[in-house]
Structure 1
């Protein structure tokens, strides 16, 4: 699997997971109703499916690496969907998480 395909899968997974969690949040916290919650639950399930499409067979590695994408993606989602303005520490922290993701997922390994 190419790094580009792997990164694309992480982005799609983030859209489903973060979007799903946001839909649940909107349904419950913003009182938009159970249809929003249900859509969120479906999206969260699809996130789980997309995560299995990574070529690496190590569940722990894939999910740990995805954690970095989740951190950065959550900040980006907040900016786009809720008008959140991250400060420099948010940005630096997200960049550190993405660097960690790259090391975990794409470092050359023997065997």
Structure 2
């Protein structure tokens, strides 16, 4: 359960950082948004190293599903766009895949 809480923070940092660059470059916001985005992306990288996994690739792969769910939530909460059923079905499939990768039994 601790891993999912860390992954939630990782997703918030990554999506927030990427959105800050989006706001600067696509929405015409101040260049200061790029600075905030850079700090947020640094936090993303640091937080992702806190995942308890034997190899980095497994932590990154499991994060992919969490990222997709968080992106759909961001779209709804921050951008005000309602996800359609395909967004939700795809997100559920990705979240199931992340759970399998992260929680699957390991032999060694």
How high is the TM-score relative to the length of structure 1?
A: 0.94
Provide structure 2 residue ranges, at least 5 long, that are not aligned to the other structure.
none
User: CA–CA distance in 2 between the matches of 1:23 and 1:78?
Assistant: 14
Aligned length, in residue pairs: 108
Residue of structure 1 equivalent to 2:24? 27
CA deviation map 1:2-43 (0-9, x unaligned): xx1110000000000011111111111111111011101110
**1:61 to 2:58 alignment:** yes
Shift of 1:57: 3.0
Paired residue for 1:94?
Answer: 91
Structure 1 consecutive aligned stretches of length 4 or more whose deviation exceeds 3 Å: none
CA RMSD of aligned residues (A): 0.7
TM-score w.r.t. the length of structure 2 is 0.97
